Amino acid sequence: MTEKHFSAISMTSEQWQIWITDYSDQWFETADDDDLERADLTATGLTSPSAGDDAIARVEARLGQRLPPSLRSFYQVTDGLLEADAFGERVLSLTEVGWMRDRYADLLDTWPSSSSDVEPDTLELMRRALQIGDDDDGAYWLLDPEERTGDEWVAYAFRTTDGTEPERYDSFATMMFAQRTALDELRNRE
């Protein structure tokens, strides 16, 4: 698995509010017509209002685990994020967050661990991981509850269609910073 060299980052809801506002402003300032057409914008742009602490608690009860701090504080600000990277990936709403083994049991069963398309370690990661993001082109953002950096769960970005291994990040927040950097680089080249 490819490791990105970012340190673990945990953010408060106040820090996320600033980050999300800045990110949204930047996204709209640099978006072209194709970006705007592709994006399924909400009435509030790229975000949705927070579902609140009660909704977070219900999801944690459903999952049987408390969400890691950086993801939990993110959901205190917004219930998902559209266009969260350079390629249209999104952070799922709380009602969509779930274990890969539950959400994609059929998919995981069709990839035997001996498959040349997916490494056995990647398949095991997918079976235990919490899915927190996706796109329409076979990309998944995952958190691994068994691999941690302090209180944070290690995050992975994985695209099933390109044959690369998942990219590892020390936390959800670290992954989001990396995705923003990738968006900056892509938009600056255009």
Show the domains of the chain with their CATH numbers. Answer: 2-189 (3.40.1580.10)
Query: In this predicted structure, what is the pLDDT of residue 189?
Result: 67
DSSP letter at 164 equals: P
DSSP letter at 76 equals: T
Query: In this predicted structure, what is the pLDDT of residue 81?
Result: 86
> Which has the closest alpha carbon to 154: 129, 178, 122, 121?
129
Query: In this predicted structure, what is the pLDDT of residue 47?
Result: 84
Query: In this predicted structure, what is the pLDDT of residue 3?
Result: 44
In the numeric block, the tokens 């579902």 are attached to 51
Asked if residues 47 and 80 have their Cβ atoms less than 8 Å apart, the reply is: yes
Query: In this predicted structure, what is the pLDDT of residue 34?
Result: 82
Query: In this predicted structure, what is the pLDDT of residue 58?
Result: 97
Listed as ranges, residues in the chain with pLDDT below 50 are: 1-7, 113-114
Query: In this predicted structure, what is the pLDDT of residue 48?
Result: 86
> Does pTM surpass 0.75?
yes
